[in-house]
Structure 1
Amino acid sequence: MDERFSIFPCPYINYSPYFSRNDIRSSKVPAYVHLLNPRRTWYNNRRIIILNAWIVLLLVTASNNGYDGTMMNGLQSLPQWKLSFNNPSGSMLGLLNAIQHIGSLGGYPFSPYLADGLGRRRTVFIGAVLMCMGTVVQTASQSVGMFIGARFLIGFGHSFAAAASPMLITEVSYPLYRGPLTSTYNALWQGGAIVAAWTTFGTFRIHNTWSWRIPSAFQGIPALVQVCLILFAPESPRWLIGKGRHEEALKTLAYYHADGDENDPLVQYEFNEIKNALEFDRTVAANVGWLSLIATPGNRRRLRIIVALAFFSQWSGNGLVSYYLNKVFDSIGITDPTIQLLINGILQIWNLTWALLGAALCDRAGRRPLFLVSTAGMAIFFTLQTVCSAQFAIHGSTAAAHAVIAFIFLFYASYDIAFSPLITSYAVEVLPFALRAKGFMVYNISLSLSLIFNQYVNPVALDAIQWKYYIVYCCWIVFEWVYLYLFVVETKNRTLEETAALFDGEEATQHIQGDTAALDNQRDDLSEEKEKD
């Protein structure tokens, strides 16, 4: 056995720049921290830099979805787009917005079979190819039907890329950076939103159909980059081990996590823990097939949380601004398209800033506190937005209209610190490998259903009852806070396998960690004795 795995103090533990010895003994830090080489970081290690570059390629999948939502928001303020498609409103406008998510809904049932059968990389590639094809048709659209069909195809392709990308990110990341990187995935929805907002603002003054065709064409750029590069990215070590390709998995872990050293303590720790977790899923938890999603109390608990998060992420009042900002502005007397597009562009930069802050804090503050603070802030600021909207509608107060804009920004700051970064990362990390693709498909379907409902109901309700519709969301957000307080489990400072085992009890944790915990305790005891001497 390698001497670095003996019960004597690990050579790395006394030199860690991240944590103190007391932190290492507590639950404040990851259990594997004593195995980290402090000289191997994201900014000075060439292999980790390359790995993170591949992860950036996967992160742009979320940007595509963010681009779409904000692009459609911007197009609704363009007279040229309205003229091209006969001034859509009501249910037709809802269909134009919702059709991409309907397309995603059609693709999600196939995504786990592709992700588990062909691998994460190839699934992303297939999705990116379909999105490129859809973007070409969308840009060339000559009718409403052609535009709707193109958006359906984009959504269908996005379902594959969106299913596989976050799983590959979380399964291949260097463990110390897994939480923030996976959380950055959904945070970069705002990155695409920024590009879309300012693209539509820039093309607003083009007095022909290119004012909306150019933003449509730009939507395909992230997918095109993925088509060219994704097959060169590393495959998930978890998927490789699940397929019996242990040697390839070990080489991948060693290459990116330890400069190619297959005997590195961290690599061996990860490799053995992954094997133990997969064995536990097959032999003890019986996590095979669709029924396993509801077969055990732990799996039912997982499903209950991820489905709720999917709906909460779109039913918190944010859907009003994400897809129908122009209608919100119209309701408070701001009708100038230039002003609408300018505020939209600034709002997306604001959103990205807060979302990235939330991603950075996920391992420091913890998932549960961020969710609770976020939801409480949304409840407060959305209620104030409702009051000010009512004041403008009843009394015509200009000050109230300006206050609505301020509270929209504050509402989104609250939303962004948890729901933008954490909903996707939390969903993939609480699911064990055997159920990850299937469970994540359920999450994505729930997300699409909530979006489709929003995009059909919101424009109709806003036309019918104006600001009074906001009261529904005020009540719902309070319910969200209570639900999250009761059911969300803290998952910080654990490996992917240990996080998933939280829901399966002590037996799962012991099986997955094997003898690691005992060795760690002995190592700490000997270290204490040495310090006393």
Structure 2
Amino acid sequence: MVLPDGEKPPSFLFLRGQSLVYAVTFTCSIGFLLFGYDLGFMGGLSTSPEFLRVFGHPQASLLGFLVSSYEVGAMFGAGFQFLLGDRFGRRESNVAGAGVVIVGAILQAAAYTRAQFIVGRLVGGFGLGTMTTVIPIWLAECSMPESRGRMMAMQLSNLIVGLILSNWLDFGMGKYPGSVQWRFPCAFQIAFCVIVIGLVPLLPESPRYLCASGKTEKARFALAALRAGYADAPEVVEELQEIQYAVQVEQEGAASWRDVFKDNGVSGYQRVFVAFAANFFQQLSGCNVMSSLGPYVFQNSIGMSHRDSMLVAGGLQVWYFVSSLLPWYLVDRVGRRKLFMFGSAGMCLCMTLSAIFVGLGTKNLGYGAAVVLYLFQSFFTIGWQSNMWIYPSEMLPLRLRLRGSALAVVSQWLWTFLVVEITPPMISNIKYKSYIVFAVINFVTVPYVYFFFPETNNMPLEAMDLLFADREGKKPSMLRVVRDSANKGFRADVLRRLQEGAREGDPKADVGGSKLEHGHEHVEFQSV
């Protein structure tokens, strides 16, 4: 079927609609596969005799920094996106980040000194920090509300594929003599970057980014392709109007980086803080202890041999992947808040049992601790893995989405660095008490999420501003926003007002009893 003037309906790579969204998801998932690979391959190297020999058998603290310096680079990459990311598109930032990772991988694979290896880790981390900031935003802005969580869950399963590849590649390369056993895993990062660089330019830019940049016709074309419609199809026109309406309500013109610390009439700084906190709680749960240092934990905390620790760590990542399939079906059905709390409660229990088993110190209980750590990964992937990565993109307003997400990713990498850096000396010095620290943090997370994390599940991205808008002339507390976000009637009213406001096309107009005053940057409507 073609348009009357002979033009074919919009498409990319001959794909339209959900097939095109799947293509975007696949490409994003390759970026996160790289993320998982980079988290995991250093775990095997940390116990590799050849790697340790080349770098002078570093002590636990220095070994932790050789691993965690990647996270330092990633923090700077996210910081770069915070300051300058809005000048570039989602696609351009992704491609540039992959190019930087290639440079870092070459430096690591060719290293003969600690300094060169650390520089390579910092450079590669910078590129990955850029990618992990923009990938979830690009995917969230291309997906449909009812399947957004599932797309992110599929993408995060590929992160675990990266962990599996890294663990088993480390195990297989350990059989080869010489430094190739660790240089090849370092260089193998390049393969994923090449795939990203080849695919990203062939896919659509985010329609929301294009609208915010004033490229309305390009946004219309991209949105029509993503929704399997024509540029003038009613559903495409309506969604484009909603996006434009949200851009108007949030203010005309480009956002300053300082706006993440302001209210802007849509509780901007509060929403940025919630996104930051989500990353904090995810990383302080202890998840990256097992992702980045699994072999080290099994060997030095539980007492397994080098070979057994590599096998058990490799098996853990396979289990991790199987567990990650459950969120494909749960995340858009159960909701974000319930999964967050369920995951944290389960992780708290697992860390408590691990502390008991490791503390008692018998061989059989050591194996019991390994089983419990397997269960820990299941609770993590169900509750926090994909859930957390989509949450900041849903929570933040369009004009603050990239900068707010960049701050959230800074949080992600800051706490990842802290956890990976302190875990080896923690295990060496306080032993089983290390698990108690993570158990307490997971325990505290449950009530915090209950009181301060709004529900974003199945809500259009543009509707979130109305959720935080003034009620009866007053700014709602976060507690009220959270309560209303779980109220089906209130959510339905927000959706109705968004649609009416988009059709009206004027953020200063009265819409169905709501009063939207763009000049004062706030939205007032009657409480449901």
- Scaled by the length of structure 1, the TM-score of the pair is 0.83
Aligned to 2:121: 151
Unpaired runs of at least 5, structure 1? 1-43, 523-533
Give CA-to-partner distance per residue, 1:344-393, whole Å, 9 cap, x none.
1111121122223224311101111111111111111111111111111x
* Cα distance in structure 2, aligned partners of 1:320 and 1:161: 22
Query: Structure 1 residues 515, 291: CA separation in 2 closer, same or farther (over 3 Å shift)?
Result: closer
Aligned to 1:226: 196
Aligned to 1:6: none
Aligned to 2:398: 433
One-letter amino acid matched to 1:263: D
3-state SS of 2:226 partner: helix
Offset at 1:113?
4.9
* Cα distance in structure 1, aligned partners of 2:15 and 2:255: 38
Offset at 1:306?
1.3
Q: How many residues align?
A: 469
Offset at 1:409?
0.7
* Cα distance in structure 1, aligned partners of 2:130 and 2:461: 22
Pairwise mapping of residues 35-114 of structure 1 onto structure 2 (< 5 A)? Answer: 47-114=17-84
Query: Structure 1 residues 439, 354: CA separation in 2 closer, same or farther (over 3 Å shift)?
Result: same
Give CA-to-partner distance per residue, 1:276-311, whole Å, 9 cap, x none.
10011016xx99323332322722331232111111
Aligned to 2:438: 473
Pairwise mapping of residues 108-507 of structure 1 onto structure 2 (< 5 A)? Answer: 108-259=78-229, 261-282=230-251, 288-296=255-263, 298-392=267-361, 397-505=362-470
Offset at 1:510?
6.6
One-letter amino acid matched to 2:241: N
Query: Structure 1 residues 517, 398: CA separation in 2 closer, same or farther (over 3 Å shift)?
Result: farther
Offset at 1:509?
6.3
Aligned to 2:485: none
- RMSD over aligned CA atoms reads 2.4
Contact 1:432–1:501 (8 Å) recurs in 2: no
* Cα distance in structure 2, aligned partners of 1:216 and 1:181: 29
Give CA-to-partner distance per residue, 1:217-258, whole Å, 9 cap, x none.
112211111122222221111111112111111111112312
* Cα distance in structure 2, aligned partners of 1:98 and 1:388: 28
Contact 1:359–1:417 (8 Å) recurs in 2: no
Offset at 1:201?
1.2
Give CA-to-partner distance per residue, 1:27-57, whole Å, 9 cap, x none.
xxxxxxxxxxxxxxxxx98543234213311
One-letter amino acid matched to 2:290: V
Give me the identity figure in percent: 28
Name which of structure 1's ranges 505-514 and 214-223 shifts more when overlaid on structure 2.
505-514
One-letter amino acid matched to 2:314: G
* Cα distance in structure 2, aligned partners of 1:108 and 1:333: 35
Offset at 1:180?
1.3
* Cα distance in structure 1, aligned partners of 2:375 and 2:302: 20
Contact 1:194–1:349 (8 Å) recurs in 2: yes
Aligned to 2:500: 514
* Cα distance in structure 2, aligned partners of 1:387 and 1:287: 54
* Cα distance in structure 1, aligned partners of 2:222 and 2:278: 32
* Cα distance in structure 1, aligned partners of 2:132 and 2:290: 23
Contact 1:250–1:271 (8 Å) recurs in 2: yes
Query: Structure 1 residues 60, 504: CA separation in 2 closer, same or farther (over 3 Å shift)?
Result: farther
3-state SS of 2:111 partner: coil
Offset at 1:444?
0.9
One-letter amino acid matched to 1:439: G
Unpaired runs of at least 5, structure 2? 1-13, 473-493, 505-511, 513-528
Contact 2:147–2:332 (8 Å) recurs in 1: no
* Cα distance in structure 2, aligned partners of 1:349 and 1:503: 41
